[in-house]
Amino acid sequence: MYKLSFLFVCIIFCLLTSCVPMPQNVIDTKEHIEIYPDYEEVTIPINIAPLNFLIRDESVDAVAIKVKGSKDSLTLHFKGRQIVFPLRKWKQLMDNHPDDTLTISIITRKNNRWLQHPSFHWNTVSDKIDPYLSYRLIEPGYEVWNRLQIKERCIENFDEKTLADNKLLDGKCMNCHIYGNNQGNLSMFHLRGQNGGTILNRNGDIRKLSLKNNETISAAIYGNFHPNGRYGIFSTNIIIPGFHTTDNKRLEVYDTESDLVIVDFDKNEIITSPLTSDSLSLETFPVFSADGQWVYFCTAPAVALPDSIQHLRYSLCRIAFDASSRQWGNQVDTVWNASAENGSVCHPKTSPNGKYLLYTVADYGTFPIWHRETDLQLMNLDTGETNQLEKVNSNRSDTYHSWSSNSRWFAFASKRGDGQYGRVYFAYIDENGNAAKPFVLPQANPEHDDLNLKSYNIPELSISQVPFDANTLELLIQQTPSEPFN
């Protein structure tokens, strides 16, 4: 499957560059040429796959492009409107220009005239992004599981493999896939329904777990790994969908009950705390700090639902955890106050270096993907200062984020563009916490996003590959009972 992606790029390149006319009598113009994806003035890692793009002007029938850095340049000619870089030449260009500014000049042929358009830039950085990205491909609707897959993509090229496919699993829902320490050998996701369970991949040992006992509200849902890999932190929730009739938000999902639990994967035990199991509060979206000494989570006072959904606002809190004694702390601290901020927070993610907390803010609730106002915010955990990430956010939902292992990049899902389909974007954070303009996941075919009718859900970055595929998983589900937890 990986070989087919590379073969596709080679075929497209050969077709586009055969019998390509050379620019003649070029006319300078100030006419801006629209490209998709919007790769203008973006910051990119030197290990990213080629930023192939499409000229949006349908009157263009040929293109010449020059990418110039401080050392050398690359000039290519194409028939048609697609710019597809040969992988070998692209990698050479990136390797030769770390921490550089590349100038991209485009000449197009329109109506038998060659036009030189204003140039733009790419800023390359030697801080590499983790090479593997996983995501769930799903239709952007409610309970449309006709074809639901979890995919893993190498973002240094266009290789992709299927980790899980519900066509092989009796159409079951698969969700909440996560990694520990950005490692492919520490990951999990939930498989719902009969013969389902939490699929834990730990050092190549794949287990099916029943993360529920008589004291929990439900099976485990939203979760995160402790840095030592022995523990997981989860919410247990009663989740209800709600539909808007007049609002463009379309769909809400809310909890009528929710608590937090810690799971010991070595002892098959569930550890609870009265401070995170309060029936008057709704606790959800827990994550460990980078050092494992804290649990960050979202909590809101229970309100009458669905009537008071717009008053459901979550604060960001934390509680200590001692891994050696398996003990929760005895105090909950508020990190981000919903009443003071007049918003609702969800999906906190701590950076691997322990410096930052990245989270999503909406007007209310915990299901931000249909809230146009949903934005990402970055908190400096040393100073408490927050960054509104103005260069990163859009006028559509921006959420479901994950960090790269070096804490210099994060991936997130955004509905910018058509407002319906989520796409994966990457954003760079410099040493001072300043964010650059994000760029969308490159594709071998630059028209892929126009033609793909699936949303990319929950993008997760990792250093290494997951050591199983959909066929391995099918056998596990069919043949292995779920391990009980006390």
How does pLDDT run across 205-254, given as a tens digit for each residue?
899 999 999 989 999 999 999 999 999 999 998 877 665 554 556 667 76
Share of the chain above pLDDT 70, in %: 92
Residue 172 above 90 pLDDT? no
Enumerate the domain spans of the chain.
Answer: 2-125, 132-479
For residue 333, the model assigns a pLDDT of: 97
- Phi, psi dihedral angles at 190 (to 5 degrees): -100, 140
For residue 13, the model assigns a pLDDT of: 47
Residue 379 above 50 pLDDT? yes
Cis preceding-peptide flag for 368 (omega within 30 of 0) = no
Residue 474 above 90 pLDDT? no
For residue 254, the model assigns a pLDDT of: 67
CATH of the structural domain 2-125, one choice from 3.30.360.10, 3.40.50.720, 2.60.40.10, 3.30.70.270: 2.60.40.10
For residue 243, the model assigns a pLDDT of: 56
| Strand ranges (E), 89-154 | 101-110, 113-116, 120-125, 132-138, 149-154
**CA atoms of 289 and 285, how far apart (whole Å):** 13
3-state helix, strand, coil in the chain (%, to 5): 10, 45, 45
Average pLDDT, the chain: 90
Q: Lowest mean pLDDT: which of 108-112, 127-131, 472-476?
A: 472-476
For residue 310, the model assigns a pLDDT of: 81
2-125 and 132-479: identical CATH topology: no
264-288 tens-digit pLDDT: 999 999 999 999 998 899 999 999 9
347-378 tens-digit pLDDT: 999 999 999 999 999 999 887 777 778 899 99
Q: Which residue has the higher pLDDT, 79 or 256?
A: 79
For residue 478, the model assigns a pLDDT of: 80
**CA atoms of 475 and 238, how far apart (whole Å):** 30
219-230 tens-digit pLDDT: 999 999 999 999
**CA atoms of 358 and 387, how far apart (whole Å):** 10
Residue 146 above 70 pLDDT? no
The CATH code that applies to domain 132-479 is: 2.120.10.30
Query: Does the pTM exceed 0.95?
Result: no
User: Which uninterrupted H or E stretch holds 7?
Assistant: helix 2-17
311 pLDDT band, cuts 50/70/90, is: confident
Q: Span 145-159, mean pLDDT?
A: 88
For residue 122, the model assigns a pLDDT of: 98
Q: Span 114-119, mean pLDDT?
A: 96
What CA–CA distances, in Å, run from 151 to 64, 136, 422, 470?
Answer: 34, 6, 15, 9
Concatenate the DSSP letters of all residues of 332-394 into one string.
EEEEE-HHHHTSEEEEEEE-TTSSEEEEEEESSSS-GGG-TT-EEEEEETTT--EE--TTT--
**CA atoms of 403 and 355, how far apart (whole Å):** 12
**CA atoms of 232 and 224, how far apart (whole Å):** 6
**CA atoms of 143 and 333, how far apart (whole Å):** 37
29-64 tens-digit pLDDT: 999 999 999 999 999 999 999 999 999 999 999 999
For residue 2, the model assigns a pLDDT of: 45
For residue 340, the model assigns a pLDDT of: 94
Residue 16 above 70 pLDDT? no
309 pLDDT band, cuts 50/70/90, is: confident
Q: Span 309-335, mean pLDDT?
A: 95
Select the highest-mean-pLDDT range: 301-315, 375-389, 469-483: 375-389
Share of the chain above pLDDT 90, in %: 69
